[in-house]
Every structure is written in C-alpha cells, then in structure tokens.
Structure 1
Amino acid sequence: MEHLFLNVFNVVLPVLICAGIGYGLALTKTPFDNKVIGGIVSKVGYPTLIISHLATTNLDVSTFLDMMSAAALAVAGFGVLGFVALKMLRLPVRAFLTPLMHGNVGNIGLPITLLALGDAGMAYTMAFVVVVLISIFTVGMWIPAGEFSPKKLATSPIIYAVAASLILMSTGTSLPQPIAKSFDILGGLSIPLMLLTLGHTLAMLKISSLGRAVLLTGLHLLMAVGIASALIWFFGFTGTERGALILCCLMPSSVATYLFIDQHLPEYGPDVAGFILVSTLTTILVLPVALSIWV
C-alpha cells in the first residue's frame, strides 16, 4: 500500500510543482499574459500536440472515436444534470452551467493521464480534450453570452487538427520528418504552459461565497462519479480506456470558463472563481484516491 501511494504521489506532485510555479509568478507580480499564452496554446500548442501525438500512437481510430463519443455524452450529461440541479438550487443557469459542464482536462487531465497511464492514456485523454475544448469555445461561450456563434466552431484549428490526425491514423501515414519534429517541439510547449497558466490564474481569482463553492464542488463530484460509472458500463471500457475516462470525468471546473463569466456576467465572477478554486483543490485530494482505488 505504501508503494502504491508513493507512485500516486509521484504522479500528482509534478503537476502541483508546475502549477505552483505559475502561482509563484503571480505572487511575485512577474509579467505573465494569460490571454497571449492561452492563444498560443489553443491555436498552436493544442493542434500540434494532437497531430504529433495521435499520428505516432498505435491507437485504433474506432477506439478513439468511441472515446470522443463518451466525452460528448459526458459533457451532455454534466449539462443536463447541472441544469436540473441549478434550477432546484435556484442558481442562475447562465452563470454556473458552463463551469459545471466543462472539466479542466487540458491543464490537469493531460499531464495526469500521461504520468499515470502512459502514452496510450494520454491519447485517450486527447479525445476528451478535443470534445471539451470544442464545447467550451462554442456552447461554453454561448450560454453566458446568450447568443449563438457558429463562426468560432468553423475557425477552430483544433477541429482541423483532429481531422488531419484521423486521416493519418486510418491510413498509417507518417508526417515528413522535419514537420514531425517541429510539431513535437511546438506540441511539447502545451502542457507546461497550461500548468503555469493554471497556477497563475488560480492565484488571481477572488472568492466571493465559500459555501456556494463547496456546494457546487460536491455536486460536480457526485455528477462525475455517476456519469463515469454509466459511461464505463455503456461502452464496456476496461484497462487504460476506463482509467482515462474516470480521470477525465473527475477533473475540476475549467479555468477557461471563468473568462466568459467574467466578461458577460461579471457580477457572478467571484462566485464562479470560488467554485473553480475549491474544485481544483478538492481534485488534488480526490485524485490520489481515484488513482489508487478506482483506476
């Protein structure tokens, strides 16, 4: 048992250290532009990471598509259950549904699954990341803004990166060596930049209602366990697929969603910030348990 928890600690600690450095940058007021770095990651880092990783991973296309389907159902499940719960709690849907729907599978999920489950686990998490990112930058923006904008979907580089990856995977085609190496370098920027951004953003958040944050965090965890269990049963996932799905469902609320709430519903920004911060800290406690018992 001691050896098991040591392995779990070795998985979680590097993520905490990297995020902690970002937190330290905020405390020391080191110049750090979240929007610029976020743009680089979403427009360059994520697409190149997806292509470089999936093109070289021995993963069946149908299995990858199954995980994408599971991810879409998970996001939909969080959306439906979250909508009902917010209505019952009499909390504004426009303010809290987006953070309840979207987990931080990019900043935390990718490094955790890579360290815990290896390249195959990270490839499955990529499928989850793709779906969640597309949802965040479409539905996740539309809900707080109260408007529909398909242009964001059509101009997302991530969609074209996924299409290119599926073609390469299904045909067994390899990228030319110079391009493959370039994509490896650019894609390698993503995870450290995401973790630094996570820590920096958490340091800048201001909490309004701790009680509400704890309530929403507990609700999110209950939904995560139920949704993960249902999807594992439905798809019959085992092994690495099962572990990746569980970890992705347990991810805390995405930091990116705070930006949309702060932009369109600033009066609820501190409440959403509190939820994101508490859910992130809670996940740090939950992950070792999940990794040692459930995964």
Structure 2
Amino acid sequence: MLETTLRIFSIIFPVFACAGLGAAYGYRHRPDMAVVNRLNMEFFAPFLVFWALMDKPFDFLAFRDLAIGGVAVILGSGLLLWPLGWLLRINLKTFLPPMMFNNSGNMGIPLVLFAFGEQALQAAVVLFIIEMVLHFTVGFYILDHRTKPLRLLKMPMIQATILGLLFSSLHVTLPDALANTVKLLGQVSIPLLLFSLGVRLLDVNFRDWKLGTFGAIVGPAAGIASVFLVSPLLTLDANQHAQLLIFAALPPAVLNVLVAEQYQQEPQRVASIVLLGNLASLIIIPAVLYFALTH
C-alpha cells in the first residue's frame, strides 16, 4: 500500500509541479504564451512524435487494439453524454467537445512516461495522435459541419507522424549525432507542454462552476465507462489497459477553449469546464492511477 502510494506520488508530482510552476510564473509575469505554444506545437512536439515513432521499430499490430480503444474512448464519451446533455438542455456544441477531447498531450504523455517509462512513449504518442486527429476532424465538424480533413496534412505534427512511421517501417536509422539532436529537441516539448498548461489555466474562470463541476465528474466517468465497454472486444496487455484507463480519465484539453473562441461557441463556459476539469484531475488522476497500477 505504502509502496504504491509513493509510486503514484512520484508519477503525478512532476506533472502537477511543472504546471503549478507555470501558473505561479504566469500569475507574476503574465507572459504572452502564444508564440511559445505555437513553437511547441509546430516544432518541438513534432520532433518528439518523430523520435518516438522512429527510435524503435513501430509494430502496427501491437498498437492496433490500443488505437481502436482510444477512438472508442473519445467517440464513446460523446455518445454516452449526448443524451444526458440533451435531457439537461445543455448546449451540446459547448459541452461535448471538452468531454471528448482530453489533455493527451500536456498531461497524458508525461503521466505515461513517469508511470511506465520511456518504452511506453510510442503508446502515449499513438493515443495523442488519435485524439488530435479526431479533434481537428470530428471536433470541428461538431461545431460547424464544414471541416476539411485534408488540412491535417499541412500540420507539422501529422507530417512528423507520417515521416516517423515511414522511417520505422523502412528500418531507416539516423546517425547518432543527428538522432541525439532530434531526441534533445523533442524532450523540450514535454516540460514546455506542462508549463504552458499552468499559464493558460490562469485565463479561465469559475463563472459557470456548476457546469464545470458537472463536466469534471461525468467526463472521466464516461471515458472510463467506454474503456470497460470496449475492453472485452480488444486484446490489450496489462500496461496498455492501464494506459487506456489513464487516457480515459484525463481532463479536457486547453485547446477546447481556443477552438471555442475561434467559433464563438460560448468560450467562457468552455473555459470553466476546462478549468474545473483540470482542477478535479488532482483527485481523479491519482485515484485512476492507483486502480490502474494495482489491477
């Protein structure tokens, strides 16, 4: 019991500490993170994705069921909560995207790294890519019904994914000097993701705290329910099942706020859902980690 508790603390402390330091620095200095976030998403994070996919041979079959599970968690959360939102007369365009699209980048990748080690990075990247692709296709379609999936090919993250898979499938290896450079640039992304998450959360408020609290509870619950509904149909090893549970319990992505602002879809309400969801993760993530690691 004590050993498991200490392990969970060692996993979550660096994640929340980096985000907390970002919030503390942001509160004092109010930095403009727009350039930093763009640099991370268009430069450092693509290097992380590329390195994770090409560093070791990528076994498509080994991650097939995990990928299916990731899709099921995202779409299943939306399908489970759609009738509930409709019954409660909540604007579904405001409510569903934060319930479906979670913090698989800012929080998910670091959590998996600390919980399962560097060998689990490919699995974390697979879930991150799935969440990102569905957000920029299904998520945008929920808001305006005019999404253009081919635009994904222009995103550095997708280009890095395709290139990484190509290198891996062709067994192309980089010279050590170049490989270490790629790895070093990719490693910048993880602490920067957490730091920027902390800074960004300062911009949201508690105005719609009731909806935010409701979302903080039912979002992870729907995700976890989706895991247990789809798991009997999948072949997942113990680590993959645990990673899928953690993925399902992650709080809403901050990107939901930016997208809501872009489409003028009640951004303040979305911001409250995101803020309360991330605060609630201080309790939910350790509980899910304990269950995942002990079962």
TM-score exceeds 0.5: yes
Aligned length: 293
Deviations 1:142-191 (A, max 9, x none): 43345323353221222222222222333332123333222112211111
**Offset, 1:279:** 1.2
Is 1:271 matched up with 2:277?
no
Unaligned residue ranges in structure 1 (runs of 5+): none
**Offset, 1:235:** 1.1
CA distance in 2, matches of 1:179, 1:231: 41
More displaced stretch, 63-72 vs 115-124: 63-72
Deviations 1:11-35 (A, max 9, x none): 10111110011101221024232x2
**Offset, 1:130:** 0.4
Say if 1:65 and 1:48 are closer, same or farther in 2 by CA, change over 3 A.
Answer: farther
**Offset, 1:247:** 0.7
**Offset, 1:212:** 1.3
Code of the aligned partner of 2:199: H
Show the 5 A alignment for 1:71-150. 71-150=70-149
CA distance in 2, matches of 1:247, 1:99: 16
Q: Is the 8 A contact 1:61 1:166 kept in 2?
A: no
More displaced stretch, 245-254 vs 271-280: 271-280
What secondary structure sits across from 2:86 in the alignment? helix
Code of the aligned partner of 1:186: L
Q: Is the 8 A contact 1:47 1:161 kept in 2?
A: yes
Code of the aligned partner of 1:24: A
Code of the aligned partner of 2:16: L
Q: Is the 8 A contact 2:76 2:223 kept in 1?
A: no
Deviations 1:213-263 (A, max 9, x none): 111222112201211112322212122111111111110011101111123
Q: Is the 8 A contact 2:40 2:189 kept in 1?
A: yes
RMSD across aligned positions (CA): 1.8
Aligned to 1:174: 173
CA distance in 2, matches of 1:249, 1:115: 17
Deviations 1:62-88 (A, max 9, x none): 112332232222222122223222212
Show the 5 A alignment for 1:214-233. 214-233=213-232
Code of the aligned partner of 1:138: T
Code of the aligned partner of 1:282: A
Say if 1:148 and 1:58 are closer, same or farther in 2 by CA, change over 3 A.
Answer: closer
Deviations 1:70-124 (A, max 9, x none): 2222222122223222212211122222111101010111111100011232221
More displaced stretch, 205-214 vs 144-153: 144-153
**Offset, 1:135:** 1.9
CA distance in 2, matches of 1:58, 1:250: 29
CA distance in 2, matches of 1:36, 1:139: 26
What secondary structure sits across from 1:207 in the alignment? coil
**Offset, 1:141:** 3.1
Q: Is the 8 A contact 2:143 2:263 kept in 1?
A: yes
Aligned to 1:8: 8
CA distance in 2, matches of 1:188, 1:82: 36
TM norm structure 2: 0.92
Aligned to 1:65: 64
Q: Is the 8 A contact 1:138 1:152 kept in 2?
A: no
Aligned to 2:24: 24
Code of the aligned partner of 2:284: V
Unaligned residue ranges in structure 2 (runs of 5+): none
Q: Is the 8 A contact 2:73 2:224 kept in 1?
A: no
Code of the aligned partner of 2:162: A
Aligned to 2:290: 292
What secondary structure sits across from 1:189 in the alignment? helix
Say if 1:243 and 1:23 are closer, same or farther in 2 by CA, change over 3 A.
Answer: same
What secondary structure sits across from 2:269 in the alignment? helix
CA distance in 1, matches of 2:152, 2:124: 21
Identity %: 24
Show structure 1 runs of 4+ deviating over 4 A.
none
Q: Is the 8 A contact 2:71 2:130 kept in 1?
A: yes
Q: Is the 8 A contact 1:261 1:269 kept in 2?
A: yes
TM norm structure 1: 0.92
Code of the aligned partner of 1:141: F
Code of the aligned partner of 2:288: A
Q: Is the 8 A contact 1:144 1:265 kept in 2?
A: no
